[in-house]
Amino acid sequence: MTLRLMEGTEAIAEAAILSGCRFFTGYPMSSFTKLLEHFAQKLPENNGVCINAESEIEGINMTIGAASTGARAATGSCGQGLALMQEAIAEAALNETPLVIFNMARNQQDYFQATRGGGWGDYRTITLAPKDVWEAVEHTQLLFHLADLYRAPVLLYGDDLIAKTQVGVEIEAREFGTLPDKNWALDGKLSGTGKSRVTWTFAWGKHNTPGLRADKHWRNIAAKFDAINNIEARWEQQYTDDAEIVVVAFGTVAKFVESVVEELRTKGHAIGFFRPITLWPFPNDALEQATNSVRRVLVFELNAGQMIDDVKLSVADKTKVQGIGGVSVHDSGLSYGDLLSAQSILTRIEEIITGDKK
Amino acid sequence: MEVEVMISGIGGQGIQLVAKTLSVAAISEAHHVQMSSEIGGEMRGGLSISSVVIGDHPIKALPILDKTSSALIFHHKFSEKVIGNLRPDAVVMLNDSVFEGEIQKEDLQIWRIAATTIAEDMGHPMTAGFVMLGAFNKITGLVSQNALSDAMEKVIPPYRKQHIEANLAALRAGEDSVSSDYASIWNHNSPLLKVIG
């Protein structure tokens, strides 16, 4: 094993290129900028193209164009930039264009944006939330696979810490199984035959090659996302078998929570940990099972309470669920605030434990 | 085994360069490494803290440390956070030419090095960071002398290559400034072992 010291954005760019990504575009914005820079440096050396777009809207629409030809393509920003991309994400989901979007988020306030989206129509976005750079490398490769497997836009919910933390990492190619042929790609093979392909949200098709049209097409897409919901949920859980309290957290923040739970376990507390790895599909069934016999389900997220909605949808007795996080951002607005520390999390959980004993 | 090294000072003192040098040296010797940084918005004089974790297994430490087994403190400004995180018996290297005040903590292994004075005497005051790193590494033995020198050459950007010789001299001067023998944590004769057990 040969480790190389890389910051998260560089490791993600390398993992994407190893996955066959040959087109990337974006508009600079902290904490995303370095990801764009690494793609700009590395893609031309790998027969790829990286374009500094004039806006996030232009960026994602170029990415849809590139992906429509069958190429593996990606874009990204932070939550503020993804806000501008919502219409295009919905279009890509409904015209079945596979692409990867990297949200190098500044905090955890984009959970609703990621899992609900702000576009139109019946669509969902597979969202993976890695807890560190090593997992982000794995998730990046998995996302390109899932995008192609389901012909859908997919999202990595990273953050400022994953973006800039430097770690010793080895970028190894991972195998996720075979994929269907891209027999839908607009690769020019059928030009002049009168049967050229079209990707179209309304699926009307063309004169010689009529499409399914909107009703059937959108039913199919709804069925596809329904199937994904039943197949692709991923999660991690620790000590839930004998836990009286389970703490739920996602992304980098979950890594902090996990270490606090480990510490509380060594102090003899019956506490467990649950981390949704996919934010959509949310691992509802697994969380329900993990929390069936617990006294409390605590949700630690650095926002005003977003994932807690999904937790409440999963846990049979909603009265057990309590949020213990909150909004906490650096005064610049560009990264996390002081609440992201093992000590702060420990204090909040211990307050609950002490309160329960009274 | 996992060793935390927190480095603090003000922007312009070479905090991030020193941290990167140590990290690259550790990687070159096949150790596991994590390096995270906190930098103020200012070009010069603002907060600069870097946290390096070196281990012989995949790193478990969080990207924001709240405990550290060692510290290099370049300046009294912004040092409170690092001092507050020191574990009992932590190895601390202070830049004695600049640091004002006292560390109000008793159970520490402190080395005081007049790093800036040594660097100024050699005609290159900007190399004080490497004086600190040379001294710290001789005491703790986290990486070999050669790995440290090679890493420094690697991380210096192309437009600063003219400083390599002065930086090498600074690393050696740092080593000479501490009288102890060259330790190696991996051979179990480093004072860091008192902290991490």
pLDDT over 80 (residue B43): no
d(CA B5, CA A85): 41
d(CA B63, CA A219): 44
pLDDT digits (tens, 9 = 90+) for B82-105: 999 999 999 999 999 999 999 988
Nearest CB to A5; choose among B33, B37, B41: B33
How many domains does chain B contain in total?
Answer: 1
pLDDT over 90 (residue A74): yes
Q: Does A138 contact B at CB distance below 8 Å?
A: no
Sequential DSSP letters for A250-265: -HHHHHHHHHHHHHHH
Please count the other Cβ atoms lying within 10 Å of the Cβ belonging to residue B129: 29
* Region of residue B92 (left: phi > 0; alpha: psi -120 to 50; beta: else): beta
pLDDT confidence bin for A102, thresholds 50/70/90: very high
Beta-carbon contacts of B94 under 8 Å, excluding residues fewer than 6 positions away, are B73, B103, B110, B111, B112, B113
Domain with CATH 3.40.50.920 in chain A: 235-357
pLDDT digits (tens, 9 = 90+) for B8-24: 999 989 999 999 999 99
Structural domain span for residue B126: 2-195
A4-169: CATH homologous superfamily? Answer: Thiamin diphosphate (ThDP)-binding fold, Pyr/PP domains (3.40.50.970)
pLDDT over 80 (residue A26): yes
CB-CB neighbors (< 8 A) of B37 in chain A: 164
Percent of chain B with pLDDT strictly greater than 90:
85
Query: CATH assignment of A235-357, given 3.40.50.920, 3.60.130.10, 1.10.10.10, 3.30.420.10?
Result: 3.40.50.920
d(CA A140, CA A123): 21
Give the domain CATH number at B153: 3.40.920.10
Residue A227, CB half-sphere, CA atoms under 13 Å: how many? Answer: 8
Give phi and psi for A195, each to the nearest 5. Answer: -125, 30
Please count the other Cβ atoms lying within 10 Å of the Cβ belonging to residue B131: 30
Beta-sheet strands, E only, within B59-183: 68-73, 86-95, 109-113
Mean pLDDT for A118-145 is 98
d(CA A329, CA A95): 37
| CA-based nearest residue to A159, from B63, B35, B34 | B63
The chain-wide mean pLDDT, for chain A, equals 96
pLDDT digits (tens, 9 = 90+) for A298-309: 999 999 999 999
Q: Does B28 contact A at CB distance below 8 Å?
A: no
pLDDT of residue A194: 87
* Helices marked H in chain A: 8-18, 33-42, 56-68, 79-94, 111-115, 133-150, 160-164, 214-231, 251-266, 284-291, 307-314, 342-357
**Contact state of B62 with A4 under an 8 Å Cβ cutoff:** no
Residues 49-68 of B with CB under 8 A from A: 58-60, 62-64, 66
Mean pLDDT for A268-279 is 98
d(CA A185, CA A201): 15
Domain with CATH 3.40.50.970 in chain A: 4-169
